[in-house]
Amino acid sequence: MRRAARARDAADPLAHLRARFVVGEDDIYCVGNSLGLPRVEAAERAAAFVREQWGTHRVAGWNRAGWMEAPFRVGDTIGRLIGAAPGQVVVGDTTTLQLHRALHAALDLRPEPTPTKRVIVVDAENFPADLYIAEGVAEARGCTLRRVPMAELGQAMNEEVAVLAASHVNFRDARALDMAELTQRAHAVGALAIWDLAHSTGVFDLQLDALEVDFAVGCTYKYLNGGPGAPAFLYANRRHHGRVRSRTPGWLGHRAPFDMAPDYEAAPGIRAFLCGTPRMASLDAMAFALELIEGVSMAAARRKSMELGEAFIAGVERFAADHELALLSPRRAEERGAHVALTHPRAQPLARALASRGVAVDFRAPDTLRFAFAPMYTRHLDAVESAARLGELLAEGADHDPAFAGSGDGPVT
């Protein structure tokens, strides 16, 4: 398997990108679905921002260095990766706040809640923060929140539904929903569709405009490698511009912020969704990361991530049945995102043991290991090797070794 993996790496059209990231020759980093890796020149870029922009222009940088337009300029770059024409994506704040805005905006485009149109449907297995936000918005707007299993979202679309909100790829098991079909089903009953693309952007060939998605949100620190806490994005389809509004009317979302008017008048289009001051150091770091992948075919990235997942699963299947290891993710690559989830009764000790063998993965309570295969820097050899080292550790009984015992959730370092 290693020989075949090396041959695939030699022929990989994305292989040259690995050298542009901070990753060692023997480093197997399978946590890109939590935090992507920095570019090799990221430190110099950060220093250059301080030296050549902030340090040189100082407060004039808002005009001379184009800081005021950065949320939209970077937004358009992300738009090209997700199939969105210019003027429909803004960058700022967090995914949680962007989802809050999208949910309110979608409800504002529907009639006021009535007994026949007052339901928000969410994926019951979605990331907890998404569920918390949906619950809060439903309470504030007098709506009913309906939590539906992923497999039943399509059937849940009826005339009561005002908004469907779901993640394209599930954070835990990597199951990918059919965005085209579910968006169409929502529209068929007069509902709007909001998609969380946190585990999709940068590893799927997304076509939001073509699918007529209404709103989408996503983070930029996973497969886009924007850095810890990098600001999130919001997509609002152009057909809603002119009618849509933000329920967090910040100063920079005003039509003329420097008029300092006491009353709010929303800026046109996507600009209304900008709230606070752009986080320029983070935005500049994100823009630098995006420069590297902007020219990469998302179709090619998707193909490679599927190949990596398949190679890993094929390796795991050789020993899984003998060691209480089970595949949680869908077996078919087309139904999976860019990570693979396995279950094991002693998953956390295994994650710690893998870290000791140079394989970084993460653990989700109570029994899940997630292996992410970021196509920009992960090799086919890494996928095969991570499966092999997992098999070796299980054969050695590392999951029972007191040295790797521990408790708690979150990434293993």
Question: What pLDDT is stored for residue 413 in this prediction?
Answer: 37
Which CATH number is 45-293 given? 3.40.640.10
Looking at residue 399, its pLDDT comes to 94
CA distance 136 to 189: 24
Helix (H) or strand (E) holding 205: none
Residue 154: predicted pLDDT = 97
The CATH number that domain 2-30+297-400 falls under is: 3.90.1150.10
Among 29, 72, 127, 233, the active-site one is 127
pLDDT value, residue 300: 97
Give CA–CA dist 253/101, Å, rounded.
13
* Residue 222 near residue 305, CB atoms below 8 Å: no
Options 93, 123, 130, 196, the catalytic residue: 196
Of 285, 354, 337, which is closest to residue 29 (Cα–Cα)?
354
**Catalytic annotation on 127?**
yes
User: Is 370 among the catalytic positions?
Assistant: yes
> What does the domain layout of the chain look like in residue ranges?
2-30+297-400, 45-293
The type of residue at 246 is: S
Positions of the chain with pLDDT lower than 70, given as ranges: 111-115, 407-413
In 187-313, DSSP assigns E strands to 192-196, 215-218, 233-236
Contact 273, 246 (CB under 8 A): yes
Considering only CA atoms, which of 7, 45, 52, 42 is closest in space to residue 21? 42
Among candidate residues 39, 118, 175, 222, the one labeled active-site is: 222
Out of 370, 377, 382, 389, the active site residue is 370
Rounded-to-integer distance, Cα 107 and Cα 141, Å? 8
* Contact by Cβ (8 Å): 175, 199: no
Q: Which residues, other chains included, contact 98 with Cβ-Cβ below 8 Å and sequence gap of 6+?
A: 92, 217, 232, 233, 234, 273
Options 171, 221, 235, 363, the catalytic residue = 221
In this prediction, residue 115 carries a pLDDT of: 64
* Global pTM value: 0.95
Residues 6+ apart with CB under 8 A from 235: 79, 82, 84, 88, 89, 208, 213, 215, 216, 217
Q: Please give the single-letter amino acid code of residue 258.
A: F
Interhelix angle 128-141/95-109, nearest 10 degrees? 40
Question: Which residue is listed with tokens 């001051």?
Answer: 277
Do residues 281 and 140 lie in contact, with contact meaning Cβ atoms separated by under 8 Å? no
